[in-house]
Amino acid sequence: MEADDKIRLAIENTMVLRPPRQQLATFGITNVYYYMITELMNEVNVVREGRVIAARPKIVTPTYLINIEGFSGPAKRFIQMAAEQNPHEPGILYSYKNETGEMNIVSEPLVNILDKINKRIDNRNDPLSAIIKGVEELWDVSLMKFTFELTRNSAYRNFSELYGRGRLVADNQGVPRDARENIEELFEMAAKDPSYAPELVSELHRWKLWSTYQDRFLNLFKRY
């Protein structure tokens, strides 16, 4: 079976048995605890636990995305074409980190495992826990499908809340208010902890604002 066929099969056989009760936060970090159940053999299942940590959604534009590394050549060209037509069109960028935890092999029927995990979640009264039934060989693909659906279900509310607070409005340089406020937050964090400096520099360059903030940045670190 070709790799693409395996991925499609994994996606088709992934089910979110218990979604989180809350969507992704618009103005903060969301920490979703997941239980990934995959079948190893008849009535032998693997239960993986971990966390999907979603950073605060960011307002971006095609002009910003051009300056992000990691896109393939065709993807980069697509972004460039979008930037040529609507350079300051706002969109939402989501970023995630997966922190894997325990992995256990359980010789029990799926229904028994589900009952135990559901009780555990109910006892904790955790609105940000999820149960996913995935495919063992490509369990990370199953996790990606879950993450994609979580994003899709949250995007409309996130966008509406950002719009309602005026954070999508761009200034005369084509920089959304959300980006300006994020830069201010990074300056505050870098003033307290210099380890944030590289992130701040990257953000300034992605928005082509280095010349605007250069003196302020250098003055911030004169004492070091």
Q: Give the pLDDT score at 41.
A: 87
- Asked whether 124 and 83 are in contact (CB, 8 A), the reply is no
The pLDDT confidence band at residue 224, using thresholds 50, 70 and 90, is low
Q: What is the pLDDT of residues 149-189, one digit of tens each?
A: 999 999 999 999 999 999 999 999 999 999 999 999 999 99
Helix (H) or strand (E) holding 49: strand 44-54
Spatial distance between the Cα atoms of 178 and 158, rounded to a whole number of angstroms: 13
Angle (CA) 51-57-60 rounded to 5° is 140
- Asked whether 186 and 200 are in contact (CB, 8 A), the reply is yes
The pLDDT confidence band at residue 223, using thresholds 50, 70 and 90, is low
| Residue corresponding to tokens 């966008």 | 159
Helices 3-12 and 139-164 cross at an angle (nearest 10°) of 60
Q: Give the pLDDT score at 185.
A: 95
b vs e for 7-40, b when ≥16 Cβ sit within 10 Å of the residue's Cβ? eeebbeebebebbbeebbbbeeebebbbbbbbee
Mean pLDDT for the chain overall: 92
Spatial distance between the Cα atoms of 120 and 99, rounded to a whole number of angstroms: 20
Q: What is the pLDDT of residues 54-69, one digit of tens each?
A: 999 999 999 898 888 7
User: Among residues of the chain, what percentage have pLDDT more than 70?
Assistant: 98
The single-letter code of the amino acid at 128 is L
